[in-house]
Amino acid sequence: MADERGALSFRRGARGFYAGPALWAGCAAAMGALVGASYLARSDHLRPRDPRPTARPRMFFLFAIGLFVLLTFGSDALASQGAAPELVALFFLVLGSLALLWVVRHIGRSENELALVALCAGLVAVLLPQGFFGQLPTGIGMLPVIGYDLLVVLLLFHLWRRYRPLQGPGGVASVGREAVRPSQVP
């Protein structure tokens, strides 16, 4: 009997959740529909208005952290109050749509590499500690988690350094491998 309960709890996961074939099929269908919709959508529908980002990279970083925290705690609060799953999904949809509109409004059409790296770093900054502390009680070992976290941080650091404007000789800012005149630097 103990083996059956152990196997059952293993299949259902730590919180007693088991996705099952219907949920997997529904997720696959939803992803397929979203990919199909992206091919049918006009390419200029969500085109940023401004040529350059209107918010600093730090704002994108803080925005991503706030969005992730709000999505996590908001959905947990709704679920713990017994809200219907459709309401939780609507919460994700509305908040995600508002976030997308904010990013499109402020990202700019070019010279936005630092903003994109900061946006990714903000999302990862919340996930890395969650993965680390979530791995502690499993007993699997911390080396893979620490190694993965370190690789992600190094990649983001490399991208930040690559796209960060640096002042070169003669007051010319160097962005990545291209040189930009001081009048073109934001």
Task: Provide the pLDDT confidence category of residue 13 given band limits of 50, 70 and 90.
Answer: very low
Structural tokens at position 29: 């269908």
Within 8 A by CB and 6+ apart from 102, the residues are: 63
Q: Which of 118, 92, 124, 95 is nearest to 106 (CA)?
A: 118
Q: How far is CA 58 from CA 54, 61, 127, 157, in A?
A: 12, 5, 18, 14
**Tens digits of per-residue pLDDT, 75-89?**
888 888 888 888 888
Give residue 1's pLDDT: 44
Q: How far apart are the first and last CA of the chain?
A: 68
**Contacting residues for 50 by C-beta, under 8 A, at least 6 apart:** 106, 108, 109
Distance between CA 145 and CA 149 in Å, rounded? 6
Q: What is the pLDDT of residue 61?
A: 94
